[in-house]
């Protein structure tokens, strides 16, 4: 697994440790965010799209525990790795009970921290790719006008069955598995074409174009797969209700 496209947020008030983490993570990771207090940290966690949160327990403003608790209460599922100077067993347990996924005490070994970070990111990938695979073998997906049967790889749009090529099908299935979500071209290259696939983002355009030609009512005015200018594409299932 590569960390190069992973976004990690660090909430830590000790500049020394923050620098240490920056030093070791910066080169390996995609985006690396730093916040030094609980209030800004929570906001950053809520607004950004992060793959992992490294969270100090002792923080000015909101405490690490509360940051974690709040995120979980709001339904965020991102992995949280707590760091703390406290060594008491009770603190460790409390952190885990509150919704953190892991706990490491300062002074920690950077190598071990990195290993744990990788372990969590790996698990997230494992789970999401397993979920994708379960969709592949699962029952038919019915999204308004579009009906997809992953087993037979048959797609029907507004009752008509359409022939899709392998790539087109994978692309559509990926969109259908994450409706409304906006994907950047680079993300689609990773998710549909596979990791580290060398190729132009423009390739995605071409396939979107072909897919639209096959499933859109009017390919000039796409409704199912819409363009998000400056970002990427989004799949919006259309209700099958007739507008007469």
Contact positions toward a copy of itself, by CB under 8 A?
40, 43-44, 46-49, 72, 74-77, 79, 89, 92-93, 96-97, 99-102, 109, 111-112, 115-116, 118-120, 122-123, 126-127, 130-131, 134-135, 137-139, 141, 148, 150-154, 165-167, 173, 176-182, 228-231, 234
CA-to-CA dists, residue 153 to 143, 156, 164, 168, 188, angstroms: 15, 10, 8, 11, 20
CA-to-CA dists, residue 235 to 128, 142, 167, 183, 227, angstroms: 19, 14, 16, 9, 9
User: What is d(CA 65, CA 91) in angstroms, rounded to the nearest whole number?
Assistant: 10
145-184 binders of DNA (CB under 7 A): 163, 165-168
- Rg for the chain, CA atoms, rounded: 21
CB 16 to a copy of itself: min, Å: 21
The pair phi, psi for residue 98, each rounded to 5°, is -75, -15
CB 219 to a copy of itself: min, Å: 22
Question: Residues near 195 by Cβ (< 8 Å), separated by ≥ 6?
Answer: 2
199-218 binders of DNA (CB under 7 A): 199-200, 202-203, 205-210, 212-213
3-state secondary structure of 37: coil
The label of the residue with tokens 């789970």 reads 127
**Beta carbon nearer to a copy of itself, 137 or 244:** 137
CB 156 to a copy of itself: min, Å: 13
**Beta carbon nearer to a copy of itself, 182 or 213:** 182
**Beta carbon nearer to a copy of itself, 51 or 244:** 51
Cis peptide, bond prior to residue 193, ω within 30 of zero: no
Q: Considering the rule CB under 7 A, would residue 195 count as an interface residue with DNA?
A: no
Partner from DNA, a copy of itself, none contacting 205, C-beta within 5 to 8 A by type: DNA
| Residue whose C-alpha is closest to residue 143's, from 207, 211, 218, 235 | 235
**Beta carbon nearer to DNA, 50 or 169:** 169
Specify the DSSP element, H or E, that contains 141.
strand 141-143
Binding site residues, DNA, CB under 7 A: 163, 165-168, 185, 193, 198-200, 202-203, 205-210, 212-213, 219-220, 222, 227-232
């Amino acid at each position: 697994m590569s960390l190069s496209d992973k976004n990690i947020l660090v909430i830590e008030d000790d500049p020394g440790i923050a620098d240490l983490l920056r030093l070791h993570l910066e080169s390996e990771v995609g985006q690396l965010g730093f916040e030094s207090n609980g209030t800004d940290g929570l906001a950053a966690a809520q607004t950004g799209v992060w793959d992992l949160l490294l969270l100090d327990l002792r923080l000015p403003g909101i405490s690490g525990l509360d940051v974690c608790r709040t995120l979980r209460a709001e339904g965020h599922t991102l992995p949280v790795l707590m760091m703390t100077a406290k060594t008491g067993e009770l603190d460790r347990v409390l952190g885990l009970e509150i919704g953190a996924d892991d706990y490491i005490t300062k002074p920690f070994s950077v190598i071990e921290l990195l290993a744990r970070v990788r372990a969590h990111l790996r698990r997230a990938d494992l789970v999401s790719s397993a979920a994708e695979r379960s969709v592949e073998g699962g029952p038919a997906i019915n999204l308004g006008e579009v009906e997809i049967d992953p087993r037979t790889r048959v797609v029907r749009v507004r009752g008509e069955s359409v022939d899709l090529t392998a790539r087109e099908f994978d692309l559509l299935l990926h969109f259908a598995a994450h409706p409304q979500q906006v994907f950047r071209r680079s993300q689609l290259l990773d998710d549909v074409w596979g990791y580290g696939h060398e190729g132009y983002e423009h390739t995605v355009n071409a396939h979107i174009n072909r897919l639209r030609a096959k499933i859109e009512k009017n390919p000039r005015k796409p409704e199912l797969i819409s363009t998000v200018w400056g970002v990427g594409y989004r799949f919006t299932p259309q209700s099958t209700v007739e507008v007469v």
